[in-house]
């Protein structure tokens, strides 16, 4: 299981890469993709959509389940990773290299963890 440094992590297993003070990239963690199983489709959000921290950003489908991706920040979607529509398996193969959405004009954020704390968090959840 990977926990790259330089990223922030949410309790609902999303990672955040701050690009500058008011914009970031969002994706799902290695733990998330292993829980999901084989991803078959991602229902990407739309550019221009407003997102609110702790609310649903989009959802990801595996064969027998749907999982919500929770937005760690409040802001506006400025870009989405269209490549994931045709190659959803990238979320399984390379979760940290496969960003889902870019959010700009960030106005608020959840309390996020660094890699070490997130790794601990997962261990304590599994216990």
Binding site for other proteins (CB under 8 A): 38, 40-41, 43, 59, 61-66, 88-89
Q: Which is nearer to other proteins, 7 or 42 (CB)?
A: 42
- Minimum gap (Å) between residue 51 Cβ and other proteins: 13
Q: Which is nearer to other proteins, 65 or 108 (CB)?
A: 65
- Minimum gap (Å) between residue 38 Cβ and other proteins: 4
- Minimum gap (Å) between residue 70 Cβ and other proteins: 14
For the four alpha carbons of 80, 91, 98 and 2, in that order, the dihedral sign comes to: positive
Contact residues for 75 (Cβ-Cβ < 8 A; gap 6+): 22, 23, 50, 51, 103, 104, 105, 106, 107
Strand order through the sheet with 23-28: 8-9, 14-20, 23-28, 101-109, 73-80, 50-51
Q: Which is nearer to other proteins, 65 or 116 (CB)?
A: 65
């Amino acid at each position: 299981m990977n926990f790259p440094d330089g990223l922030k992590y949410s309790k609902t297993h999303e990672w955040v890469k701050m690009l500058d003070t008011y914009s970031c990239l969002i994706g799902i963690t290695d733990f998330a993709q292993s829980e999901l199983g084989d991803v078959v489709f991602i229902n990407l959000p739309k550019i221009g959509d407003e997102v609110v921290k702790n609310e649903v950003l989009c959802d990801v489908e595996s064969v027998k389940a749907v999982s919500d991706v929770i937005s760690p920040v409040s802001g506006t979607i400025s870009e989405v990773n269209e490549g994931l529509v045709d190659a959803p398996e990238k979320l399984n193969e390379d979760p940290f290299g496969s960003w889902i959405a870019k959010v700009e004009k960030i106005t608020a954020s959840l309390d996020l963890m660094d890699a070490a704390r997130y790794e601990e968090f997962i261990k304590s959840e599994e216990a």
